[in-house]
Chains A and B, each alone.
Chain A
Amino acid sequence: MSPSGQDIWVYAEHQRGVLSSVTYELLGKARELAGALGGRAVAVLLGDGVHPLTATLGAADIVIAVEAPSLAEFTPQAHAAVLRALAQSRAPRLLLFGATSSGMDLASLLAGSLRIPLIVNCKTLTAEGGRVVATSQLCGGKLLCEADTGDGPAVVTVISGAFPAEQGVSDRTPQVEVVPLPVALDTVRMRVTRLLEPAPGDVDIAKAPVLVAVGRGIQRADNLPMAEELAAALGGTVCGSRPVVDQGWLPLSRQVGKSGMIVKPRLYFALGISGAPEHVEGMKDADLIIAVNSDAQAPIFSVADYGVVVDMFELLPALTQELGSRKTAAA
């Protein structure tokens, strides 16, 4: 690829006609980096009939919009092909994506096919002199890795919620450059056949005021009644992390996190949950978080208000009993 300029590109991710909040988070950061490097913050918007979305991208110095029927439904191959062609002719310094389902696919495809560096799951991105340094979160939040993105171009994915969205929101009307399809898409070998809505659950955990959440630490489906008893004593609902749902111990409608529900209960009781970023994304805004984990180093303790380092199977019976006797006393 040709030597890159200093522009910072943001892939404007949208679903069902709405830009996702990570797009604004990235735009705010792109403004800051572009300012430091002497480049522009550029939003790249792909789709069909998406021009109205440009109105909310005023934080960008310029919006590059490519519209075509073949871009209407997101497929990694079509969107990556267009981004690749645009990046090859315009040579940005950095291409930023949310570390989301579509962002992860596009970032890896572009880095692989263009043979340029990629850094994933970043929590911070800072300009230091002419350098851009990115800190990735790995090993479920137990490690951080700081890396130089190089002279560009490079691709970076950023964890949702890492930067404030406010800096990426502006009521300015951005300059929009409508670009014709830069590459023929007739070789794209995939198409969206339908959208699948989440199956309605028996309960809506997003509405429950008290949630008792179980993670892999629950060990077996047989142990679930212990969590159910605690939930009953608290007037709450049982939910869980992804591994518990993948095991089939709880239905998908009870999953909290990135690919499940975002919840904001008055009380979130986390039992045997390590606190991986994908889980934390779904529950960090609960009013009160109490975490129980046998590992004192578990990242969940940096999100929780109160923590207990204990084997949950020792604490649960005592806690359920204590709640029971308090109720009896109150009655």
Chain B
Amino acid sequence: MNIAVLLNMVPDLVEELEIDASGTALDTQWMRYVLNESDEHALEQALLLKDRHGARVTVLALDYGEVEDTLFSALAKGADEAVKLAGLSEAPSKRAAAAAFKTALSGMACDLVLTGVYAIDDQDGHTAGLLAGLMDLPFVGVTRSVEPADGKVLVQKEYAGGLAAEIEVSLPAVIGVLSAPQPPRYVPVAKIRETRKTRKLTEQDITGAESLPGPTIRRMFKPEAAEHAQMLEGSPEDVAKQIVMILAERGLVP
């Protein structure tokens, strides 16, 4: 089975987010990026399929942020090929990303496309489903498990309250992963460094991808908390006393 895993870089929320001068976008000048969490699970899901059933895993990512680290790390974890897609602006819209991935995938032999189902910076859509819509491929999102079954796949799609449905999907298909059946594997930095020396990234140009209509962004801003917690200040011991008082008033401690 040939599996393509689409990896997306998203803003690192540990850093303070800034809005740019236009007031309609994040300021990317100093922005740090991390790999979208559910994409990390999509990669793990692909590698599990490879380990257990055999597969060729190709990872693809758009070229912005520290994407090379991400791609080499994927190779170090066990991906067979890593493709860097050039030609899009930094932090592109989700529809531009979906169209770019469509262009990249159209020349590839691929049975299964795995990608995260949801990214923290989604505004004009979720890449996985948009891509499936553009490519007219079967799609199931919000999955927690993908298993091969007679040339098809069985996926578990999560609903609210812990309910899930098992769905059988013919290939080729796009599957949106929320989490893999086990935590993403860890790869030591030394091994990534080693991979940088011994492996090469494939580069592909995706200029000329389809341009899709999207919403018109009027402004991007930080929310002003309408309601805010009453903050407790002081040393840990002081704060502990205050908390116990609050609990005592409510009869939550003796």
Instruction: Give A residues with C-beta under 8 Å from B.
Output: 15, 20, 73-77, 80, 100-102, 104-105, 107-121, 133-134, 136-150, 154, 188-199, 210, 234, 242-243, 246-248, 252-253, 255, 258-262, 266-267, 274, 287-291, 297, 299, 301-310, 314-315, 317-319, 321-323, 326-327, 330
Q: Which residues on the B side are within 8 Å of A116 (C-beta)?
A: 213
Given A192-B167, A326-B244: A75 touches B226 (CB 8 Å cut-off): no
Q: Which residues on the B side are within 8 Å of A266 (C-beta)?
A: 250, 252
Min CB–CB distance B103 → chain A (angstroms): 14
Q: Does B205 contact A (CB under 8 A)?
A: no
A228 to B252, CA, bound (A): 17
Q: Does B253 contact A (CB under 8 A)?
A: yes
User: When the two chains form their complex, are residues B239 and A315 in contact, meaning their CB atoms are under 8 A apart?
Assistant: yes
Given A108-B125, A142-B13: A189 touches B165 (CB 8 Å cut-off): no
Q: Which residues on the A side are within 8 Å of B107 (C-beta)?
A: none
User: When the two chains form their complex, are residues B246 and A290 in contact, meaning their CB atoms are under 8 A apart?
Assistant: yes
Q: Which residues on the B side are within 8 Å of A198 (C-beta)?
A: 161-164
Q: Which of A75, A242, A290 contacts B140 (CB 8 A)?
A: A75
A116 to B95, CA, bound (A): 10
From residue 112 to 148 of chain B, which have CB atoms closer than 8 A to chain A?
117-118, 120-126, 128-134, 136, 138-142
User: When the two chains form their complex, are residues A308 and B239 in contact, meaning their CB atoms are under 8 A apart?
Assistant: yes
Can you list 9 A-B contacts (CB < 8 A)?
A: A105-B141, A133-B218, A144-B223, A145-B123, A192-B167, A194-B165, A197-B162, A314-B236, A322-B241
Min CB–CB distance B105 → chain A (angstroms): 14
Given A117-B214, A308-B231: A234 touches B253 (CB 8 Å cut-off): yes
| A-B complex: 3 closest residue pairs judged by Cβ atoms | A112-B133, A108-B129, A198-B162
A134 to B214, CA, bound (A): 13
Q: Does B190 contact A (CB under 8 A)?
A: no
A120 to B126, CA, bound (A): 8
A326 to B154, CA, bound (A): 54
Min CB–CB distance A120 → chain B (angstroms): 5
A133 to B216, CA, bound (A): 10
Q: Which residues on the B side are within 8 Å of A287 (C-beta)?
A: 250
Given A108-B129, A111-B133, A266-B250: A195 touches B223 (CB 8 Å cut-off): no
Q: Which residues on the A side are within 8 Å of B128 (C-beta)?
A: 108
**Residue ID in chain A nearest B127 by CB atoms:** A108
Q: Does B111 contact A (CB under 8 A)?
A: no
Q: Which residues on the B side are within 8 Å of A117 (C-beta)?
A: 124, 213-215
User: When the two chains form their complex, are residues B157 and A101 in contact, meaning their CB atoms are under 8 A apart?
Assistant: yes
Given A112-B98, A197-B163: A322 touches B244 (CB 8 Å cut-off): yes
User: When the two chains form their complex, are residues A189 and B161 in contact, meaning their CB atoms are under 8 A apart?
Assistant: no
Q: Which residues on the B side are within 8 Å of A136 (C-beta)?
A: 123
**Chain B 15-56 interface 0/1 with A at a Cβ cutoff of 8 Å (1 = within):** 011000000001000000000010001000000000000000
Q: Which of A74, A142, A147, A308 contacts B215 (CB 8 A)?
A: A147
Instruction: Select the residue from A149, A190, A326 with max chain B CB neighbours within 10 A.
Output: A190
**Residue ID in chain A nearest B133 by CB atoms:** A112
Min CB–CB distance B92 → chain A (angstroms): 15
Q: Does B201 contact A (CB under 8 A)?
A: no
User: When the two chains form their complex, are residues A302 and B226 in contact, meaning their CB atoms are under 8 A apart?
Assistant: yes
User: When the two chains form their complex, are residues B166 and A192 in contact, meaning their CB atoms are under 8 A apart?
Assistant: yes
Q: Which residues on the A side are within 8 Å of B130 (C-beta)?
A: 108, 111-112, 118
A330 to B140, CA, bound (A): 56
Q: Which of A105, A118, A267 contacts B247 (CB 8 A)?
A: A267
Q: Which residues on the A side are within 8 Å of B187 (C-beta)?
A: none
User: When the two chains form their complex, are residues A144 and B221 in contact, meaning their CB atoms are under 8 A apart?
Assistant: yes
